[in-house]
């Protein structure tokens, strides 16, 4: 077994038997379920408050109107304005609606209220509009066929040109979830990797290990080890989640997975991991502890989150300038290109250029990280300043 794999195995076994890791492994799905369930639960208990309105209906649209309003708006017929007002003053109704005989001509109606919410007002107004339109169409003495013709919605169908794949919302969902999971894997594994490098310095183990293996073996071993740990975490969570999706929903999971561009997502995810891991492991080698991390170190930690700034403009305009820039910029391309490809297929040429830039950047960052790692791991007692790191980069190869 090579030294890189020995280090990787050690990192995996040590963490798999670590209480914190196991707790994180088990707690994360629970937290995620809680994040999904809690808003649903809140929504369940947060039903809109019921409001009761008396309706003085000279326009004779009451049955239609009652059908058009949502359940929480209760409409009760009142013979006259005085009776309706008396009901409001007695607290039996929250207001009364005056529909004059001219309502069908003018569209004018009055709501005299004691209590009203913006939502109730909007819903009532929408219901009145629908009733008004329906009644006016009826009054125009058109045949049912003509009525259907007039009110039929447009039917927009998407047809692929040149065998480009058609948009599929299920595929988009699967791709988005896959990208999100890979992002979580990269960020959590990267952070653990940084802490591991930092621990190596803090526990004064770096020099002991470096007397047996080369610095580059140690770095590679850590990167691979934490990648495997991340994959184990992810596999565990997916194993829990997939049966739940299949059993509890009617989502066509397998069709959507096979339709999505999974190889591209995995390829860019791997490159993204290598890039982030190299940055984080190099960074960990420059830090004594997390609390005293400097601004520049904080900025590097934030680099992987940059993609989220671009998500909204990319979704709105997947072939716009912003989307193209973010697909080529190596610190965002591994997320943005795959998101773009799920929304609107990206050309092979673009994928090739983006991959080339990302691979080149990853190679450069790994080389820089290896230099920083070699020197940084043996510097004890303080965080390195950017100036020191710059000096380390110019040291001769060790």
Give residues in contact with other proteins (CB under 8 A): 3, 6, 10, 14, 18, 199, 203-205, 207-213, 215, 378, 380, 391, 395-398
Shortest Å, Cβ 1 to other proteins: 8
d(CA 345, CA 336): 12
Among candidates 342, 277, 353, 289, which has minimal Cα distance to 311? 342
Nearest to other proteins of 196, 307 (CB atom): 196
Give the position of tokens 């934490």.
Answer: 226
3-state DSSP of 196-244:
HHHHHHHCCCHHHHHCCCCHHHHHHHHHHHHHHHHHHHHHHHHHHHHHH
From the CB of 30, what's the least distance to other proteins, in Å?
A: 24
Q: Which is nearer to other proteins, 11 or 171 (CB)?
A: 11
Angle at 60 between CA 59 and CA 63, to 5 degrees: 135
What is the three-class DSSP state of 260? coil
Q: How far is the CB of 15 from other proteins (least distance, A)?
A: 10
Q: How many other C-beta atoms are found inside a 10 Å radius of the C-beta of residue 381?
A: 6
Six token digits for residue 146: 């003509």
Minimum distance from residue 212 beta carbon to other proteins (Å): 4
Which residue's CB is nearer to other proteins, number 44 or number 394? 394
Q: How far is the CB of 211 from other proteins (least distance, A)?
A: 4
Q: Residue 6 CB, nearest distance to other proteins (Å)? A: 6
Q: Between 7 and 358, name the residue whose CB sits nearer to other proteins.
A: 7
| CA–CA dist 251, 375 (Å, integer) | 52
Cβ of residue 120: shortest distance to other proteins, in angstroms?
A: 59
Task: Give the residue among 216, 369, 388 at the shortest CA–CA distance from 300.
Answer: 369
Whole-number Å distance between alpha carbons of 332 and 325: 9
Nearer to other proteins, 85 or 210 (CB): 210
**298 in Cβ contact with 211 (< 8 Å):** no
Helix (H) or strand (E) holding 365: helix 348-376
Closest distance of CB 379 from other proteins, Å:
10
Give me Rg for the CA atoms of the chain: 31
Is the CB of 171 or the CB of 217 nearer to other proteins? 217
Please, which residue, 17 or 43, has the CB nearer to other proteins?
A: 17
Question: Among 203, 204, 244, which Cα is nearest to 29's?
Answer: 244
Nearer to other proteins, 79 or 398 (CB): 398
């Amino acid at each position: 077994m090579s030294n890189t794999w020995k280090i990787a195995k050690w990192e995996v076994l040590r963490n798999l038997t670590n209480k914190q890791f196991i707790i994180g492994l088990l707690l994360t799905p629970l937290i995620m379920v809680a994040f999904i369930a809690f808003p649903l639960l809140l929504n369940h208990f947060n039903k809109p408050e019921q409001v009761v309105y008396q309706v003085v209906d000279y326009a004779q649209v009451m049955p239609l109107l009652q059908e058009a309003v949502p359940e929480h708006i209760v409409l009760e017929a009142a013979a006259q304005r005085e009776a309706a007002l008396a009901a409001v003053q007695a607290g039996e109704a929250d207001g009364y609606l005056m529909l004059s005989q001219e309502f069908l001509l003018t569209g004018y109606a009055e709501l005299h209220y004691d209590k009203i919410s913006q939502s109730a007002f909007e819903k009532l107004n929408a219901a009145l509009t629908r009733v008004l339109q329906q009644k006016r169409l009826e009054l125009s003495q058109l045949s049912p066929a003509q009525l259907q013709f007039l009110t039929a919605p447009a039917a927009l169908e998407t047809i692929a040109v040149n065998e480009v794949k058609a948009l599929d919302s299920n595929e988009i969902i699967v791709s988005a979830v896959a990208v999100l999971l890979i992002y979580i894997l990269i960020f959590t594994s990267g952070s653990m990797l940084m802490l591991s490098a930092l621990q190596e310095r803090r526990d004064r183990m770096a020099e002991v290990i470096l007397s047996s293996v080369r610095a580059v073996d140690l770095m590679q071993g850590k990167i691979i080890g934490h990648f495997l740990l991340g994959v184990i975490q992810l596999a565990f969570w997916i194993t829990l989640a997939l049966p739940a999706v299949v059993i509890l929903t009617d989502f066509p999971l397998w069709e959507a997975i096979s339709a999505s561009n999974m190889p591209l997502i995995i390829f860019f995810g791997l490159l993204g991991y290598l890039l982030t891991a190299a940055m984080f492991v190099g960074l960990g080698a420059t830090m004594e502890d997390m609390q005293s991390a400097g601004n520049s170190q904080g900025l590097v930690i934030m680099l992987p989150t940059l993609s989220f700034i671009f998500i909204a403009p990319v979704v709105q305009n997947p072939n716009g300038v912003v989307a193209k820039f973010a697909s080529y910029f190596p610190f965002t391309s591994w997320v943005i290109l795959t998101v773009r490809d799920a929304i609107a297929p990206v050309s092979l040429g673009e994928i090739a250029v983006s991959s080339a830039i990302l691979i080149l950047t990853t190679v450069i960052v790994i080389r820089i990280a290896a230099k920083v790692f070699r020197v940084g791991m043996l510097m004890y007692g303080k965080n390195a300043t950017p100036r020191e790191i710059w000096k380390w980069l110019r040291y001769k190869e060790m």
